A and B are shown apart, each in its own frame.
Chain A
Amino acid sequence: MPSRALIARRATLLAFAAVLWSLAAGGRASELFVSNEVDDTVTVLDGDSYKVIATIPTDQRPRGIIETPDHKAVLVCDGDSSNIDVIDTRTLKVVRRIDTGPDPETLATSLSGDELYVSNENNALVTIIQYATGKWITQVPVGIEPEGLAVSRDGRTVVVVSEETSMAHFIDTKSWQVVANVLVDTRPRVAVYTPDQRYLWVSSEVGGTVSVIDPRSHQIVHVINFQIPGVDKQYIGPIGIQFTADGRTAFVALGRANRVAVVDPGSYEVEKYILVGQRPWQLTFSPDRSKLYVANGLTNDVTIIDVSSEKAVKSVPVGRLPWGIAVVP
């Protein structure tokens, strides 16, 4: 363990370096925070040059990663350490650890950022935590292996998908009761509301589909299938989903098919498959939404897609088994 004085000195040096950097660059560019599941680190990339700015040690098995609404912190779930690392986005240091209960995989925040919603993969629970104090507000029992979380824009509903139970569970944020369960295709991973909030898209990794759910009636209104010439059907594993701000285009990462699908949410037609690195899981936009960043688990890199041309521009190396990406402007 480094001494407290040493840590302080490092922090001062880093802050000093950061000041120099911002002076030189005329303000800091956006930054990408990539969780490396095997390395127990978060790689920080500069949003312009994509050079590594920092490699931040975390607790064990960092996976789900998000930024807080005020962008002051990046939060990462450490599955094997049962906590969340809070990374200060200014100093790029872990400044706090929040106890989550066993095996946190992903997380989301309430609209205000006051509450954290955490899926406990081993315990079939969603844990609700007060961010300021780290106090547990409650735990909601859901299906087995809960993973992806989505929060409705009115803040009234949290959706969690459970991989083993193959369901999307709708949780009411007033009563903390599960109010609806929708059976989807096998092993759902991610849930995302469309920008107009009319639909919820749920990706099923092993089922190979995306279910489009009406969040009012809790009915599946459409199932999106993917077919890629020359790729066996069983390798198509949809996971991460992102929509452009206008809701006119969706991007779906397809896991072992090594591609990101471009989908028209109006017709549900797949317009294009963009070849990226191996086993892309999670994807995230740049702050201005001109770039899409894709974490490739097996090639240990991040592919940058130009959104307007729908082309992969380049891939940049990060740590081992990159899982997810948070972006801070």
Chain B
Amino acid sequence: MLALAGMSNSFAAAAAAGSAARTFPIVYLRETYPGPGIMPSLLETHPEDEGLAGAEDGTAEINTTGKFLGVHFKLYVVTLPAGADVAAQAGKVFAPGPAVIVSDLRAADLLKLADAPAAKKALILDMRTTDDSLRQQDCRANVFHILPNQAMRADALAQFLVEKRWSRWFLLQGPTPEDAVYAADVRRSAARYGARVVAARSYDYNPGSRRSDTGYQQIQTQMPLATQVGTDYDVLFVADETDLFGDYLPYNTFDARPVVGTQGLVATAWTPAFQSYSALQMQNRFQQFAHREMTERDYGGWLAVNIVGDAVMRGQQTSPAGIRAYLRSAGFLVAGFKGEGLTFRTWDQQLRQPVLIAQPLMVVSLSPQAGFLHPDNTTDTLGFDQPETRCRLAP
């Protein structure tokens, strides 16, 4: 069911009329995807309100500012059932008129939503995906991306490793198409920053039942076999985007080497361990609001809603088209606890941002690393820069 009853897009009209109490609607759109199944670690959990809690907390916060300015933001939560026909449902979502959507959808569904005829004049803030394809050949003019994509993450780790002089990498690639994309990103990063992939191996790990009393013995046998390459290397770079086996690798590799990539030392936009640049206050506020730790997806939701708040209250925009133009302009800048203002790359509408380098309990560093230079903006050393973009946005 679409819970959009009562939503109207009369904000622009109310604003034009100088109405005292203006309500600006934001639609939060998600689908009930089947769970990821049993994760290798019992400590890895995915709360049911992951992402949504971030968007709700963000809405409460922009309403604090709004209270002083006579603006109220209302978050309409729309949950599609598993396997829903997103293209068909889009018609209902956009029935009240062009809308601002915070999308908690996966890449394939996000594309269906963005390509629906009714979405042409909408603004979609993608708070979830990290897929390179959506920033490259599958980019869309009505979609803005909040979280760093795969290539940004690979570059963020690569800069850190090169700064450490750990520049000989053993690339261990899992079986999924996403793993192949990330593995290609790792090779690209190596070429960009003067590191070398000295060994590479595909690993078709069968997760099996995941739970057994003799799991340790099995893993302790399998992982050294998978990682015995006979070539000296500095770090094992794992490409396992769906968490099949990467978390088994640390301390189980054949050689005594650190594990980085999709597991081990990771690149991420957020971790509950981050406390710099006022992030500590954000962690406290989120804990009070949601009674749990803030995940990267929660951060994506929080930031997406804050971007809308900024465009409406500081940018004085009232329509999806106006907000889109504002987000692409030099006047836009949003704060996201990274020590610098975050802005959108105009060529692929990806949010430029420093990326955290983190191990499970601690943030280790923040990339870009000192010494990696760029003629315009140092943060554009992460991911797809303008000269190499394959995105061709319709004007």
Contact = CB atoms under 8 A, between A and B. Distances in A.
Interface of B is mostly: helix
B68 A143 contact: yes
B278 A163 contact: yes
Interface stretch (A47-55, A92-100, A230-238): A230-238
B261 to A, nearest CB: 27
A256 to B, nearest CB: 6
Interface residue tally on B, bucketed by range: 20 to 34
A186 B339 contact: no
Contacts, number: 65
Contacts of B61: 144, 164-165
Interface in A135-165: 143-145, 163-165
B281 A256 contact: no
Contacts of B314: 166, 183, 186
A232 B69 contact: no
A124 B284 CA distance: 12
B340 A144 contact: no
Given A145-B281, A207-B333, A234-B379, A165 B65 contact: yes
Contacts of B333: 186, 206-207
Nearest to A232: B378
Interface string B308-345: 00100110000000000000000001110001110000
Contacts of A232: 377-378
Interface in A232-282: 232-235, 237, 256
A186 B335 contact: yes
Contacts of B281: 103, 121-122, 145, 163-164
A167 interface: yes
Contact of A183 (B284, B285, B313): B313
A181 interface: yes
A145 B278 contact: yes
Among A165, A169, A237, chain B packs the most CB atoms within 10 A around the CB of A165
Contacts of A234: 340-341, 377-379
Interface in A268-308: none
A63 interface: no
Contact of A207 (B278, B339, B341): B341
A144 B64 contact: yes
Nearest to B306: A164
B354 to A, nearest CB: 9
Contacts of A164: 61, 64, 278, 281
A143 B64 CA distance: 6
Nearest to A169: B68
Contacts of A144: 61, 64, 285
Contact of A206 (B65, B341, B378): B341
Among B61, B64, B379, chain A packs the most CB atoms within 10 A around the CB of B64
Contacts of B340: 206, 234-235, 237, 256
Contacts of B285: 122, 144
Contacts of B284: 103, 122
Contact of B341 (A103, A143, A167, A208): A208
Contact of A187 (B64, B313, B335, B378): B335
Contacts of B377: 232-234
Interface in A216-241: 232-235, 237
Interface in A185-222: 186-187, 206-208
Contacts of B379: 234
A232 B379 CA distance: 10
Contacts of A187: 278, 335
Contacts of B341: 186, 206-208, 234
B384 to A, nearest CB: 19
A258 to B, nearest CB: 12
Interface string A20-56: 0000000000000000000000000000000000000
Contacts of A169: 68
Contacts of B313: 183
Among A124, A232, A256, chain B packs the most CB atoms within 10 A around the CB of A232
Given A186-B334, A186-B335, A165 B278 contact: no
Among B68, B334, B379, chain A packs the most CB atoms within 10 A around the CB of B68
A56 B61 CA distance: 38
Contact of A166 (B65, B278, B339): B65
B335 A167 contact: no
A165 B334 contact: no
Nearest to B339: A256
Among A122, A144, A167, chain B packs the most CB atoms within 10 A around the CB of A144
Contacts of A145: 278, 281
A206 B335 contact: yes
Interface in A84-109: 103
A310 B281 CA distance: 36
Nearest 4 A/B pairs, CB to CB: A234-B340, A181-B68, A206-B335, A165-B65
Given A143-B68, A165-B65, A167-B65, 14 more contacts: A124-B64, A163-B278, A164-B64, A164-B278, A165-B61, A166-B65, A183-B68, A183-B69, A186-B310, A187-B335, A207-B341, A208-B341, A233-B377, A256-B339
Interface of A: 103, 121-122, 124, 143-145, 163-167, 169, 181, 183, 186-187, 206-208, 232-235, 237, 256
16 contacts: A122-B284, A143-B65, A145-B281, A163-B281, A164-B61, A166-B65, A169-B68, A181-B68, A181-B69, A183-B65, A186-B333, A186-B341, A207-B341, A234-B341, A234-B378, A256-B340
